[in-house]
Amino acid sequence: MFSAAPIGGRASRPRSASAALPMLPEIAPGQLWLVEAPAAKGAPSAPVRHALDGANVVIYDRALAGRLAVSFPLGAYAEPAPAGENSGAAAASRCIRFARDGWSVARLLPPRLPRRERARRIREFADQLAAARVPGSLPVRVLAEAAYGIREEAGTRLDGLADTVATYDRETRLAIVIDAFGGGVAATPQAVAGNGLAG
């Protein structure tokens, strides 16, 4: 279903909207999903809803808290990303710790970031994954969103992810699937009270 990971770090050719629309893959233990989620009111997009419903842990920018409060399923766990200097690297590190422990993790990011800011956030994740000894050759899926679902998909490698993301304009919301620790043991479920929103 997804494009094969390329050799040499270049992204494979994306599938266009005229082709059959890709389905969102199942969220699995040890996966990281980076999903651009709008802070505006209204129903969450298909990738955001999929991440909220399927991930064990959701880490979100504080600007998204109001929207999450009404969208997040009861019994699930979410927490705000750390604030302040180096907050992006700290959030990436937190996501990686959860994923390494066998949890599926969704990191919700604001959409329409300037290209440099978007690239910086993606590089922070790639750098933190490299520090966790995840190989740069790891296949990564980039799903570009349209109003009705996923418009196209591209396969790339972790070490080429920032360059692939840079090819999309800032109006295109992305969902990035990184199966960094997918072969791990599933996390042991624990009871969580309330709607799971921390912070």
Give the residue extent of every domain in the chain.
26-178
**Which tens digit of pLDDT belongs to each residue from 85-119?**
778 888 999 999 999 999 999 999 888 888 888 98
pTM above 0.85, yes or no: no
CATH second-level architecture of 26-178?
3-Layer(aba) Sandwich (3.40)
Distance between CA atoms of 165 and 182, rounded to whole angstroms?
22
Within the chain, which residues score under 50 in pLDDT? 1-21, 184-197, 199
CA 140 to chain centre: 11
pLDDT number for residue 126? 94
Q: Compute φ and ψ for 194, nearest 5 degrees.
A: 70, -155
pLDDT number for residue 40? 63
pLDDT number for residue 41? 65
